[in-house]
Every structure is written in structure tokens, then in C-alpha cells.
Amino acid sequence: MSKPLLDIHQKPSGIQLVTLSFQHMFAMFGSTILVPKLVGLSPAIALLTSGIATIVFLLITQFKVPAYLGSSFAFIAPILIAAGGLNDNGESVTPGNAMIGAILVGVTYGIVSLVIWQTGYKWLMNILPPIVVAPVIMVIGLGLAGTAVGMAMNITVEVLDEATGEMIKTTVYSFKHFTVALVTLFAAIIFTVYFKNILSAMPVLLGIVIGYIYAVIIGIVDFTAVSEAKWFAMPDFIIPGVHYEFTVTSKIFWAMVPIVIVTLSEHIGHQLVLGKVVNRNYIKDPGLHRSILGDGLGTFLSALIGGPPKTTYGENIGVLAITRVYSVYVILGAAIIAIVFSFVGKAMALIQTIPTAVLGGISILLFGIIASSGLRMLVENNIDFGNNRNLVISSVILVIGIGGAAFHFTDAFKVEGMALAAIVGVLLNLILPGREKTVTYLDEE
């Protein structure tokens, strides 16, 4: 274990604090703004709420866990389902529904945290072993594969409908835009594979920057909105009772809440990895119940003003590992910078000019990495597919999740896709004989 340059509670100097905090802000920036861009929400709100959620997390965990909270990729498909998809302008149709779902997710985290505080965490791990969690993680990535490829190579144009004589919007293939996606993709790959310093921890941001520059060069970026934007601008808040009625429906509940099955496991994995990096046992101190509560409260507060659900970010854990600077003051500084940045109108307008092809190119890598991380979990935990039990559970989860299977109880009450796959996976693990009582990825704890 390398000696840290700055340990958890050591304060950097003024210049160090600013530069190191900006480093963490840039590490999370690409992924955090990508999620709202994909689901039709405000990137400014995503930045603002990432900063707020991170500060809340630090407070709940007693400033012992140097983790940054950004937008969660696990909720991309659920948000689109809950909100009814995107309109012709790429905006969420009913964003209030997604916020209601995210609030419910935050409440669920709180309940789980309370139960863990009273009973311990092992019961949770017994119903969420790798054979359930890993295939669902693969579903998250593979289920979005079509979306990523479509964004990379297709554009929306207006054509004349000969039957009605009206102009209608349709999707067509664009070689020019596909080259933008490929430049973005290969730039991110190069930074991931060939760089070993701090640049390797920010491949998403750097890939987007390179792809964006190429898009400007070939002339598909319009800067009109940037020139018209003000330097100071309020983010687009979405507040219950003001912008939408807070009404919980079965569609919203079942689209969003079951995904907690996956994100809880992701959270625990991050705490284990982070603990190894900084040489702490975060499952015991400050305790899994505190970190889950911090994550949940961050998501809850984010949703109250229009932000997507939050999760601790692997990108920032990577920065910690590379720099050996573990100071929570640096993470706090990054959160404050993100909050300030969210009110810079011209910066947010510039983000809005990022072509869909750039986002599609980076999504091909990101969604693939998500799917591959599920596969890696299976390998690292020595899951035996010669065992028919494991084969059945993983196979059913993958096909139900990627195939988009749905349970329609009534027109308004249905469970589908990833949520249904996660529920079925948990049930199969509990019902089928031969279930192991121990969970390998927590044995060391």
C-alpha cells in the first residue's frame, strides 16, 4: 500500500485545493452531464445536484469517505420509461414522473439503511449474490446498446409526407455524424488504454472534448445558443407542486424502485474498492448503513429539484488511486466548484451544443464497459456455469432484461425490462435449490 500524499483529513494548501478539486470535477463531469443529455433533463441541474449530493454524503458519513456522487447510469432506461420517453426536441415528456420515481428510490435507500443499521448487512448480500447482480448489470449496458448506436449514426430530419403534404420528422443514416461518433469513441479508447497518469481517469470527458472539436471542424455545431446565453443563468428546476403534481403510480414505482437491487450492489462494490484504495474498512466505519443513507439522501434531495438519481463515481475513485490524494476537503472543493459551475449560463449552453453523435460515440464505450463489468463480476467471483442453477438464473435475467419482457397486470400497472429481470433474478435465487449461504465478494469483510 503506497503512502498517501494527503490522507483523509489532511488539508491541502490553497492552490493545491483548487487544482486538485478541479481535477475531480473534470473526472466526473463527462458522465454526470451525459445522463441528463440522454434522458432529456437539464445538465445544469445534474451538476448542481451532484455537488449538493456529494456534500450531503460527506456529512452523513462523518467526513470519513472521500467519494463523489454523480448521475447514475443504471436509471437511464427506467427514467425514460417513467417519463414517457423524449419529445421531438429531445426533452423528457413528463420529467415530473421521473422525479417522483427518484424520490421513491431515495426513500427506499433510507429504509434499507435503517434495516441494515438494526440487523447488519449480511441478509442483503444473501439476496444479492453475484449470480443475480452481474447479469442485471450486463442488462443495463446491453439494453442500451441500440440507443448508443442509433445516436452515433442516425440524425433526425424533416421530410415531406406525400400523403398529407405536411413536413414530418424522420430518422436517417448520416455518414458524417457517424465519423464524429467514431472519432469520439477512439479518442476515449486511446486515453483509457494508452495513458497511465491522470488522463486515464478522465476518458469520458476527454473523448467528448476530442469528438466535439472534430464536430466543430466538419461544421455540424451551431454556436448561436452560446452567444445568446447569459453568463449567469438559473438551472431549470423541476419542483413538486410547482412544475408537476406529486402522484405516485404503479408505473413510476415499478419502473424505478426495483433498480435499487442493482444500485445497492454497485454502492457496496464501490465502498469495498474505495476502502482498498485508501486503506480503510468503510463497511464497518462509518458503516454501510451510513454510506447507503448518504447515497439515498443525495438522490432524494436531487430529485426534489429536478436532478437524476445519484451514485458514487468510479471515475473519482480512480483519481484517488492515481494521485494518492485522499483528502475529503478536495472532494468537498469539487462539489462546491460543480455547484458554482451549474450557474454559468454560457458553459451550460455550450454543453447543449454537443452533437448527439458525440454522445452516441462515448455511449458505445460506456454502455459496453457497464456490460463488461457485469461479466467481470462473474469471472472474479468464480461463478460456475457448469452448475445448471447458475446457468438458468443468468440466462433468464439476460433474455428478460434485454428482450424487454413486461408483466401487464392492468394498463396502468406493469413491470418491464430491467426491473422485471432484477425481480425475477432475486426470486429464482431464493427459490431454486443449491443456494450458497456465503457471499464471496464480502468474505474479506
pLDDT at residue 443 tops 50? no
CB 303 within 8 A of CB 309: yes
Q: What is the mean pLDDT of residues 91-113?
A: 94
Q: Which three cell numbers stand for residue 330?
A: 478536495
Residue-wise pLDDT tens digits, 240-290:
999 999 999 988 998 899 999 888 888 888 888 888 889 899 988 999 999
N-terminal to C-terminal alpha carbon distance within the chain: 18
Q: How far, in Å, CA of 365 to CA of 152, rounded?
A: 11
Q: What is the mean pLDDT of residues 134-149?
A: 89
pLDDT band at residue 112 under the 50/70/90 scheme: very high
Residue 86: HSE in the Cβ half-sphere, 13 Å Cα cutoff? 13
Q: How far, in Å, CA of 399 to CA of 135, rounded?
A: 10
pLDDT at residue 314 tops 90? no
pTM score, two decimals?
0.84
pLDDT at residue 226 tops 60? yes
| Per-domain boundaries in the chain | 14-436
CB 326 within 8 A of CB 320: yes
Q: What pLDDT is stored for residue 339 in this prediction? A: 96
Q: What is the percentage of the chain residues whose pLDDT exceeds 90? A: 51
- Per-position b or e across 306-342, b if 16+ CB within 10 A of its CB: bbbbbbbbbbbbbbbbbbebbbbbbbbbbbebbbebb
pLDDT at residue 439 tops 80? no
Higher pLDDT, 165 or 329: 329
pLDDT at residue 391 tops 70? yes
Q: What pLDDT is stored for residue 412 in this prediction? A: 61
Residue-wise pLDDT tens digits, 408-426:
776 666 788 888 898 999 9
pLDDT band at residue 84 under the 50/70/90 scheme: confident
Q: What is the 3-state secondary structure (H, E, C) of 390-431?
A: HHHHHHHHHHHHHHCCEEECCCCCEEEHHHHHHHHHHHHHHH
Q: What pLDDT is stored for residue 444 in this prediction? A: 43
3-state secondary structure of 184: helix
Please give the biggest Cα pair distance in the chain. 72
Q: How far, in Å, CA of 247 to CA of 317, rounded?
A: 37
CA 290 from centre of chain: 20
Q: How far, in Å, CA of 367 to CA of 204, rounded?
A: 12
3-state secondary structure of 94: coil
